[in-house]
Chain A
Amino acid sequence: MIKIVKDVREYSYMKKVIILAVLAIFIPICSLVALSVGVININIFEAFSLLIKKVFEHNPNSMVDEVKLAVVWDIRLPRVLMAIIAGAGLAMAGIALQGALRNPLVSPFTLGISSAASFGAALAIVLGISLTGFGPYMIISNAFIFSLIAVGLSLGIAKIKGMTQESLILAGISMMYLFSAMVTLLQYIAQEWELKALVYWIMGDLSFANWSRLSFTLPAVIIFIPIFRYAWDLNVLAMGEDVAKSLGTDPRITRLICVILASLTTATIVCMTGPIGFIGLVSPHISRLLLGSDHRVSMIGSALLGALILLVSDTLARSIIAPVELPVGVITAFLGVPLFVHLLLKARREIWR
C-alpha cells in the first residue's frame, strides 16, 4: 500500500485501471464474507451455494435449508447491497462535489442535506407531520423532500451571487445550521421514545434494508452515471475558472449539473439510511492518494472505496458485539480514519493543496 502511494505519479493509465479492477474484485469477496457473518453462522461456501441455488434453480423440492436461505437472501443480502450502493453513491457524490466546488473539505452533506433530511425525519417522528406518504414511508419521503428543499434553497441563494463556488458552500452551510437548529427544537419538545427513534435515525443505519427499499435506492446510483462525462471538466476546473473556460468547459454548467446529480443521489440514499457521515468526505481523498487526481480514474476509485468501506464497516458494526449492533457511522470513522491517516502520512506528498 505504501509503495503504491509513493509511485502514483509514475503510473500509466493501464496500471491505474488494474488497481481499480483489484478494488472491484474485493467487493464480491467482502460481500460473501458479510453474508456469512451473523448470529446464525453460515460459512462462505454455503452462502455462495445458497445464492447460486436461489438465482438459478427454481425447484421448490431441492434440498435447501429454508431458514438459512431466508437469512441470506432476505436479511443479509439486501443489507450488503444497500451498503454497497450507499457507500458508492455517497463517495461518488463526495468526489463530484469536491471537484465542482474546488474544495477538499466539501462532502455530500455540505449543501445541508444531512440536517435537512434529519429535520424531515424529525417532523415525521416527533410531530407525525408528513408532506406525502404514510406509514413507514412518512420518514423516508419527508427526509427526501427536505433534502431537496435544502439544496434548492442553497442553489437559489447562490444563483443570486452568480453561482460561484464560495456562495454555494456558504449558502449550503447556512442551510445546514438552519435545519440543525430546527432539529434541535424538535428534539427539545420530543417525548422520550420519539427522541430515541430520532437520535437513532440521525446516526445512520442500514438495518432497515430490504428488497423494496433497495429498489428505491438503486436509481440513486444509476442517475449519477452521466456525471462521468464530466470527468475532464472536473479536471480542468481544478485549475481555475478562467483556465477551465479557455479549455472549453463551462464552469457554471459543470458545477450545476454536478451539484444537482450529487444531491439527488445523496438525498435518495440518506432518506433510506439516515446520514452516514465520513464516507463521502474521505473516500475521494483515499482514492486520489491511491490513484492520482485524474477524475476519470479517481471517481471510479472513490465509488469502489466507498462501497468497500461501508460494506466492511457495516459487517463489523453488526458482528463485533453481536447480537447488539453498533451505529455504522462510528465504525466507518474508526475504520476509515486510521486508513486515511496512514495514507496521508506515508504519501510522498499531499495529493491536494
Chain B
Amino acid sequence: MAVKLIVKNVSVFYESIKALDGISISFEDGCVTTLVGPNGAGKTTLLKCLNGILKPTVGTVFIDGYEVQKLKPIELAKKFGYVPQFSSSYLSFTVKEIVTMGRRPYINWSLSEYDRKVIDSSLKIVGIEHLANRFFDELSGGEKQKVIIARALAQEPKVLLLDEPTSNLDLKHQLEILKLIRRLAKERDLTVIMAMHDLNMAYRFSDKIVMIKNGSIFAAGKPRDVLTPENIEAVYKVKVSIYDKPYPQIVPIEVI
C-alpha cells in the first residue's frame, strides 16, 4: 500500500526560538529520504513532528489524507515506526520483550499467534534471533540499534523514522544497518525517513536528500544534485571536495 506523507507549512517554536520555519515537503514510499544539516538545524524536530511526538506550532502533517495531529496515538503507532538516537530503559527488559513492545498498539494484554509471528519475523529480518533472550542493556550499541529497528518493524509501520541511526556505531554496524534500512524500504515498500550527520553515508544510501538550514529546507532532491560543494559550503560553512571512487566521498577542507 502506497503511503502519502505530506508536510504542509510546518513551523515549531520552542519558547521564542524558531526550530522549524515553514517546512513543506512530501515523502514517497519505497524511498529512503535523509535529512541532513548542521546541529540544531531542526532535523530531529521535523522527524518528531511527522509521527506526532511533537505538535507543530503552525502547519499540518498529513498521512494518507488524515491530519497526524488529529489521529489517536495508537493509530499513529500503527503507521509510524520510530527509532530514536539513544535507547535505554530504567528497567532491564530482554530483547524479545523490547521487540514485543512494538505490538503495543495492537494488544491489550496477551499476544495472539499472529503477534508472535510478527515478532519472530522482525527478529529474523534484522538478524538478531540469537539475542532474543539477552538483556537489552548488555548488548553493544550496534546490537541495540538492531533491536530497536526490530521493535519498529513489529509495529508493522508504513513509515520508518530513524534519528541518526548510525551515529554511535562502528564501521561494520554502520554498513549493516544502512543496508538493512535500504532493503526494508525496497522489500516492504516502507517510506524511510532518517536524520543523519554522515554525508558520505547519506549520499550512498539515500534516494533523496533534504538539506535543512536554520529550520528551513535549503535544498531537496537526488543526492548528487543536493550534496554539491556549493550547497554544503552554504549550509555548513565548510569548504569541501567531492571525489567519486568507489563511492562518492565528501572531504572537508576547511571552515570558512
A residues sitting closer than 8 Å to B (CB atoms) are 9-10, 13, 102-104, 229, 231-233, 235-236, 238-240, 242-243, 245-250, 288, 292-294, 296, 349-353
Contacts and interface: CB of A to CB of B under 8 A. Distances in A.
Given A294-B97, A349-B135, A229 B108 contact: yes
Most chain-B CB neighbours within 10 Å: which of A103, A232, A242, A243?
A243
Contact of B91 (A249, A296, A353): A353
Interface of B: 48, 51-53, 72-78, 80-82, 84, 87-94, 97-98, 101-102, 104-105, 107-110, 133-135, 137-138, 155
Given A239-B87, A349-B138, 7 more contacts: A232-B107, A239-B88, A242-B82, A246-B80, A248-B73, A288-B91, A352-B92
Given A231-B109, A242-B82, A351 B90 contact: no
B51 A292 contact: no
A248 B104 contact: yes
Contacts of A102: 90
A9 B53 contact: no
Contacts of B97: 235, 292-294
Contact of B73 (A231, A240, A249, A288): A249
Contacts of B82: 242-243, 246
Contact of B94 (A231, A292, A353): A292
A245 B52 CA distance: 8
Given A293-B97, A352-B91, A353-B88, A242 B135 contact: no
Nearest to B86: A240
A102 B75 CA distance: 25
A318 B245 CA distance: 82
A9 B91 CA distance: 13
A353 B155 CA distance: 26
A125 B133 CA distance: 55
B77 A350 contact: no
A246 B53 contact: yes
Contacts of A294: 93, 97
Contacts of A233: 104
A238 B89 contact: yes
B155 A239 contact: no
Contacts of B94: 9, 292
Nearest 6 CB-CB pairings of A with B: A248-B77, A246-B82, A248-B74, A293-B91, A248-B105, A247-B104
Contacts of B88: 239-240, 353
Contact of B92 (A235, A293, A296): A293
B47 to A, nearest CB: 10
A312 to B, nearest CB: 27
Contacts of A292: 92-94, 97
A351 B53 CA distance: 28
B90 A238 contact: yes
B84 A242 contact: yes
Most central of B53, B107, B110 by chain A CB within 10 Å:
B53
A13 B92 CA distance: 16
A344 to B, nearest CB: 13
B85 to A, nearest CB: 10
B80 to A, nearest CB: 7
B109 A239 contact: no
A69 to B, nearest CB: 42
A102 B91 CA distance: 9
Contacts of A249: 73, 104
A94 to B, nearest CB: 14
B134 A235 contact: no
A10 B94 CA distance: 9
A231 B108 CA distance: 9
Contacts of B98: 239
B87 A243 contact: yes
A246 B160 CA distance: 11
Nearest to A239: B89
Nearest to B106: A248
Contacts of B134: 9
A156 B94 CA distance: 36
A267 B91 CA distance: 27
A248 B76 contact: yes
A351 B104 contact: no
A106 to B, nearest CB: 11
From B52, B72, B90, B109, name the one whose CB has the most chain A CB atoms within 10 angstroms. Answer: B90
A293 B133 contact: no
Contacts of B87: 239-240, 243
A353 B101 contact: no
A8 to B, nearest CB: 9
Given A248-B73, A353-B137, A242 B48 contact: yes
B56 to A, nearest CB: 15
B51 A246 contact: yes
Contact of A246 (B77, B90, B107, B133): B77
B91 A238 contact: yes
B81 to A, nearest CB: 8
A259 to B, nearest CB: 17
